[in-house]
Amino acid sequence: MAIQISADQRTFTLQTKSSSYQMAVDAYGVLLHLYYGKKIEAENLEYLIYKSDVGFSGNPVEAGKDRTYSLDCLPQELPSSGVGDFREEMIRLYHEDGSCAADFRYEGYEVVKGSYEIPGLPAVYDTEQETGETLIITMREVSSDIKVKLYYGVMEEENVITRSACVCNCGTKKVVLDQLLSCNLDFMFGTYDMIYFYGRHAMERNLERVPVKGAKVEIGSRRGTSSHQYNPAVILCPPETTEKNGDCYGLCFAYSGNFTARAQRDQRNQTRVQMGIQPDQFRFVLEGGETFFAPQVIMSYSSEGFTALSHQYHDLIREHICRGPWKHAKRPALINNWEATYFAFNKEKILKIARQAKELGIEMLVLDDGWFGKRDDDYSGLGDWFVNEKKLEGTLAELSSEIHAMGMKFGLWFEPEMVSEDSDLYRAHPDWALQIPGRQPNRARYQLVLDMSRKEVVDYLYNQISDVLEKASVDYVKWDMNRSVCDFYSSKLPAERMGEIPHRFVLGVYDLAERLLKRFPQLLLEGCSGGGGRFDAGMLYYAPQIWCSDNTDAVNRLDIQYGTSFFYPTSTMGAHVSAVPNHQTGRITPFATRGNVAMAGTFGYELDLNLVTDEEKAMVKEQLAQFDRFYDLTHEGDYYRLTAPKEGELMVWEFVAKDKSKAVSGVVKTDAQGNPLPLHVPVAGLAPDRKYHCSYNGSVHTGSVWNNCGLTLVEIPKEYESLLIEWTEAE
């Protein structure tokens, strides 16, 4: 059984295929965290706790004269504020009298078949092939009418345990929730590193690894979105853990707004790890009878290094986060007009791009920014989601019809959450924008942010966007979001509730996405926020692919896609072939390399194919054929990171079929030196006892040989040149 409960109903052990998680209720009703790691028997592990008199830590009254019992030293599932645990709390609340003490003790539990849902928020869901199991533990605050329900969802085969919590004000007195994180992990023993993924616009998700010591390691976002600067996913691991070996713990936040992820070693060398909504801009008022739900954290453990951990997340996200008909269906290879035309297009320019793309075998044309309202630059038009028929020389439906008549799908760009001050919408409803009375608003990209916490705003967007999608028969939407959010103020909420806006904003975004997908169930939605500024498991619940970065430079994309791959499968990474010199870096890379790098993603083109050479047009046809041939590998297979950025002259990655029958490796030469040394290509994931043919040199060896010995290149590629190497099972 996935959830095992002791005979005295005080010890709870969660079992996945390869991991165990245990907690127990102690004599005073405190819920202790005892173990998370490699799978073990469900035996009580309270013997691991060492108690001693720790000066200045304090003792609860129930402990009497036992000075060795202190919340400040115990590993807990729900550490709270003001009652003797001086470490970082998971929950902090203020009572009506202004005090903030919260002492939660065990009240009861229930086990529910299936995965749990969270109202208004994304969450791991069951499929017909696999269902989860949920443990709900209720904790009661000893001096008030506040209860917390802790949710533990177990996906046994996926090696995943999900965490969430909800706070219920069961009384009549108002309570202010000042912090509620989604999970807390206390490791009693061990030395750990924390791996996180940092960056900036156009250079997202760079890996950084730091030791967890007495000073707190913390990342997060206050930008209203999960952000380009930090991704809401971290790994905790011992210093010796590598791609192939060692323990590692992943925490991935299924949420698209402000977040925190932090770790710290305490005075007894215990390590506390937490993740949840960023508390600095959070303050939620709970009247009597009201409940607040925390977003979900997806946890996974591997004893076999980062690669195995990534495979667990990839499988989970593909199967239990991504939804809808495009979850496994082949995504169309597309052409986007943005870098070909920017705002300067008309109907004939778009049709000319579409005709050439169709001739080469591309399956969808996406019309980017500039088709609506008064929108010929960044200064105006956002919010006016009606077609600029003068610019398009007719209706959008007519353009869409002509694209469809070519046998192509038609896609469209939107930026629903934004408004330009020079727009009909803003002139009619200036109070719909987030801005503080008496202050000049902060602008970014010359635009303001709509108050998505307001139902009438979401309703307006739903009606306007639905009208466009229906009339024009749109197959795909690129949902962009091109600035960080500040000026959190809503004319619809009282002053004491302004701290609710960042979270209510995210709920409004999710509500709009859910409503659109219900009305247009066949729609392929791609997320975007200046590229990868909102690349998280929360958005993947609605959009099965996200534009990985606005940086389309193939060499930079190697680093960006490398970092992204630790948690997110390549089937979710929007990646395109773009023009050279590259519009972001000015770098010139071979057309083949741009194609090979983009093939480790959803694949498409971001350039005017009428301007490329005949040789490159032939390469487009070849790349599209490769995209089709390798699709089941790149979108459904296991992904291996075989080299790391800036640690050699090559970047190498590999996709292996689930049945081990075939594989394909991508190789890019990232550096060049005089008098070059031999280059070695690592190989991984092939079945050791089967034989495989290598397309590069024609030789056949067992998977054991390839995996352990790799491949030496017989010719040294030039800088930025690349190879695709196929491995096929031999007779």
Under 8 Å CB-to-CB from 427, ≥6 apart: which residues?
none
- Model confidence band, residue 731 (pLDDT cutoffs 50, 70, 90): confident
Helix (H) or strand (E) holding 563: helix 554-564
What does the pLDDT look like over 86-109, one tens digit per residue? 999 999 999 999 999 999 999 999
Which residue do the tokens 């994180």 mark? 181
What does the pLDDT look like over 64-76, one tens digit per residue? 999 999 999 999 9
Return the active site residues: 536, 616
Exposed, middle or buried by CB within 10 Å (0-12, 13-18, 19+), for 489? middle
Buried b (16+ CB within 10 A) or exposed e, 217-239: bbbbbbbbbbbbbbbbbbbbbee
CA distance linking residue 675 with residue 215, whole number of Å: 47
Question: Over 90: is that where the pLDDT of 265 sits?
Answer: yes
Question: 383: which 2 tokens?
Answer: 């919010």
Question: Over 90: is that where the pLDDT of 40 sits?
Answer: yes
CA geometry: angle 571, 572, 578, nearest 5 deg: 90
CA distance linking residue 59 with residue 266, whole number of Å: 17
Beta partners for residue 692, in sequence order:
701, 729
Question: Over 90: is that where the pLDDT of 241 sits?
Answer: yes
CA distance linking residue 23 with residue 18, whole number of Å: 17
What's the pLDDT at 1?
85
Angle, helices 455-472/396-405, rounded to nearest 10 degrees: 50
- Return mean pLDDT, the chain: 97
Under 8 Å CB-to-CB from 393, ≥6 apart: which residues?
346, 347, 348
Rounded average pLDDT over 645-649? 94
Q: What percent of the chain has pLDDT over 70?
A: 100
CA distance linking residue 654 with residue 722, whole number of Å: 13
CA distance linking residue 403 with residue 376, whole number of Å: 23
Beta partners for residue 691, in sequence order:
702
Report DSSP letters for 345-363, one per residue.
--HHHHHHHHHHHHHHT--
Q: Are 488 and 498 in contact (CB under 8 A)?
A: yes
- Model confidence band, residue 631 (pLDDT cutoffs 50, 70, 90): very high
Quick one: three-class SS letters along 661-691?
Answer: CEEEEEEEECCCCCCCCCCEECCCCCCCCCE
Half-sphere exposure of 23 (CA within 13 A, CB side): 23
- Model confidence band, residue 715 (pLDDT cutoffs 50, 70, 90): very high
Q: Are 253 and 235 in contact (CB under 8 A)?
A: no
> What letter would DSSP give residue 431?
G
- Model confidence band, residue 380 (pLDDT cutoffs 50, 70, 90): very high
Beta partners for residue 663, in sequence order:
656, 727
What does the pLDDT look like over 649-660, one tens digit per residue? 999 999 999 999
Amino acid at 393: E
CA distance linking residue 266 with residue 72, whole number of Å: 9
What's the pLDDT at 730?
96
Under 8 Å CB-to-CB from 329, ≥6 apart: which residues?
none
What's the pLDDT at 577?
97
CA distance linking residue 111 with residue 152, whole number of Å: 10
Beta partners for residue 304, in sequence order:
246
CA distance linking residue 452 with residue 592, whole number of Å: 43
CA distance linking residue 348 with residue 340, whole number of Å: 13
3-class secondary-structure state, position 571: helix
What does the pLDDT look like over 292-342, one tens digit per residue? 999 999 999 999 999 999 999 999 999 999 999 999 999 999 999 999 999
- Model confidence band, residue 55 (pLDDT cutoffs 50, 70, 90): confident
Amino acid at 228: H
CA distance linking residue 350 with residue 406, whole number of Å: 13
Q: What percent of the chain has pLDDT over 90?
A: 99
CA distance linking residue 29 with residue 148, whole number of Å: 14
Task: Provide the sign of the torsion angle of the four alpha carbons 113, 115, 116, 117, taken in this order.
Answer: negative
Query: Would the pTM of this model clear 0.95, i.e. be above it?
Result: yes
Amino acid at 29: G
Amino acid at 484: S
Q: Are 556 and 584 in contact (CB under 8 A)?
A: yes
Question: 491: which 2 tokens?
Answer: 């004319």
> What letter would DSSP give residue 397?
H
Under 8 Å CB-to-CB from 228, ≥6 apart: which residues?
199, 200, 201, 202, 203, 204, 529, 530, 531, 532, 533
Which residue do the tokens 């050699």 mark? 648
What does the pLDDT look like over 557-613, one tens digit per residue? 999 999 999 999 999 999 999 999 999 999 999 999 999 999 999 999 999 999 999
Question: Over 90: is that where the pLDDT of 49 sits?
Answer: yes
Under 8 Å CB-to-CB from 493, ≥6 apart: which residues?
453, 500, 501
Q: Are 528 and 250 in contact (CB under 8 A)?
A: no
CA distance linking residue 266 with residue 258, whole number of Å: 26
Question: 364: which 2 tokens?
Answer: 């969808």
